[in-house]
Structures are given as C-alpha cells and as structure tokens.
Amino acid sequence: MELKCGNQRTIGRIQQFYKKYGTLRLSCDYLSPVIGQSTSKTAGVSVIMSALFGRVVRALGEGIKLPVINGLGRTDRKDKWWSQPLVMGIGLNIALLYTFWRLFIYTTDGTISYDLQGSAVMSPIFSPNVLEWDLFGLSSWDHPSWVNAAILVLWIPFGFRGTCYYMRRVYYRTFFASPVACWVDEPDISKKIGYQGEKRLFIFNNLHRYFLYAAIIILLIKWWDVTHTMTFDDGFGVSIGTFVMGIEAFLLTMYVTSCHALRHLAGGVLDRWTTGISRIRGKLFGKISIINSSHGFWFWASLIFVFLGDLWVLAVCEGYFSDVALFVI
C-alpha cells in the first residue's frame, strides 16, 4: 500500500488503520491514495476493506470510522474545505431573507407584474398568479390584504427544493455541520445522535416525489406565462421580459428534469432494460443521468435566476428600467 499525501500525521493514522483491518482503499477530495492502479477523487470518503490472508471484513466502511481529529471543524486538511459550505450557507440565507421581504414586506400589487403593449410579464416569485384565476372563484375572492399569489403557491417549489437530495446535502453541511466536509470533525451532538434516517422532522423528505409531481405542473404554467410575454396587441413578439421569463423557465426545467426522483421514476425498480417499454425507460434513465450529474449547478442557477427575474420586474415596475419589444410580427 502506497499513500501520496503531504501530511505524515494523517498517513500514520491510515497506516495504523490498515494494519488492523487489512487492505484499505480510500479516496477523498484531498488525499490521493494509490493502491495498484486505483487513483480517484470523489466528494466523499469511500472505504473498501478486506482482511489479511483472505478474511473478508465488511465492505464500504460499515461500522468503521476513519480517524479524525476531535473537535468541531478540526481537521488535518490544508485546503479551503470551509469555503463551499460557507458560500452555500450565505446563499441560502440571502434567498430566505429576500423571499420573506418580498412576500410580507414589499409586496404591493403594482410590483409583481407589468404590461407592455398588451403582453404581461409576471415576477417569477409570484408566478403563477392564481389570484387572477377564475378557478375555485379565486379571482373574486375577498382575501386578506397580506395574502398574495406567492403565499398560496410557493409551498410547492419550497417543498420540492427543501426535500431535494442535493438540498439535503447542502443544509446538512451548512446548518447542521453533519458533516461540514470530508474528513472534518462534526459537533458532539451529531456524534451522539448519529444519522437515524429520514425520521421525525426529516420524515417530510420522503414526500419529495410528490412535490415533484406538483412542481411539474408549476413548471408547465411557467412556460404558459412565457407565452403571455409574447402576445402583444399588434401580434406575436419578443421583449426583454420574454428572455427573462424564458431563461428562468429553462433553468427550472433543467433543475426539475435532472431530479434524482424523476430519474428513478423513469427507469428505477426494473431488473433490466432490454425489451419493450423497459428498454425505452432504460434509455430515458441514461439521458436523465447525464444532466443529473450537474443537478447541483441547475439547483443554484435556477434559484438565482428566480430572484434576478423578480428584481427585473420590480425595477421595471418602479421605473428604474424600461422594457422594450425587440420585434413584433
């Protein structure tokens, strides 16, 4: 076994671990172990052990913990391991604060949408504006002054994002520090409690697939709202607002279609993808897997553009910018 690492203290601990359990293969984003032809970099720790003289010990690190310096945030790592959880935490807090501000503080009717020569451009946060629908008598509902379309609808995208597999990784690292990063110690309370699955409050994570179904409906309505930005009094056209709404809808489409739950819905449960409908599902599974590899990127890109789109609509409504029709046919 050969280890390439600049930290002799870490090497010593791994060698002790190796002597006790036999062959050790470990990959992490800051270690580069070389065992035979195996050299890999991953976002987490992968441990595969087999005992000396052919005695097999449980694989994939079951019941075995690698040595870590005790104390929250203590580690032998020399890279900026804290930068990613810090940025993600700041980003999520800004998103939550901005949403609260728009929903409950700065939410006058004149700032959620605007008209341009007959076309309608709606803020992404307040889309779809269900209070304009005749369905269930919503358009004629004498609702309280604090109620707006976002309050009635945002529980769907919030539920979808909040139970997202990628989002779980984000808030486990940023808010619970469990773990903060690979090979970095976590709070003592996390060690005592340990991971117990999606239970208690986290049982709501099991509703992710159902939020997916609702999010698909919202996504279709988003694209319908894009067509409203293209319908002018004098015909069909495109404005800056069309591009803003279109990009936002596209990014949300990529985020939803790269979802782990959607991939499982497409090709999961099956034993093989060989004939008939199973073959089609297998190909669909493969296609979704390609964009699923960038699921985290689509998460942040779509989230950021929701707020950029709202800022654009707000700026036009307040007179800071003016939208223009690029062409009308």
Q: Give the per-residue pLDDT at 17.
A: 52
Residue 28 belongs to some domain of the structure: yes
- Which residues are CB-contacts of 145 (< 8 A; sequence separation ≥ 6)? none
DSSP 8-state class, residue 35: B
How confident is residue 216, by pLDDT bands cut at 50, 70 and 90? Answer: very high
Does residue 109 sit in the same domain as residue 160?
yes
Co-location of 241 and 317 in the same domain: yes
Torsion angle (degrees, nearest 10) of CA 222, 227, 230, 233: -120
**Bridge-partner residues for 199, per DSSP?**
none
- pLDDT tens per residue, range 154-205: 999 999 999 998 988 888 888 877 777 777 777 777 777 666 677 777 788 8
What does the CA dihedral 305, 306, 309, 315 come to, rounded to 10 degrees? Answer: -120
- Is pLDDT above 50 for 32? no
Max mean pLDDT range (56-60, 86-90, 284-288, 296-300): 296-300
- CA dist 259 and 253 (Å) reads 10
Percent of the chain with pLDDT over 70: 75
The Cα–Cα gap between 3 and 233 comes to 70
For residue 104, the 8-state DSSP code is I
Residue 71 parent element (H or E): none
Residue 269 belongs to a domain: no
- Residue span of the structural domain in which 35 resides: 2-54
- Residues 109, 25, single domain; the answer is no
Comparison of pLDDT for 316 and 44, the residue scoring more: 316
> Does 273 map to a domain?
no
Residue 305: inside a domain: yes
Counted residue by residue, the chain has a size of 329
Same domain as 118, residue 42 = no
Work out how many domains the chain is built from and give that number: 2
Regarding whether 223 and 317 lie in a shared domain, the answer is yes
Q: In 10 A of CB 135, how many CB atoms?
A: 8
> Quick one: pLDDT at residue 14?
58
- Asked if 19 and 155 sit in the same domain, the reply is no
**pLDDT value of residue 236:** 92
* 157 close to 215: Cβ distance less than 8 angstroms: yes
In a domain, 77, yes or no: no
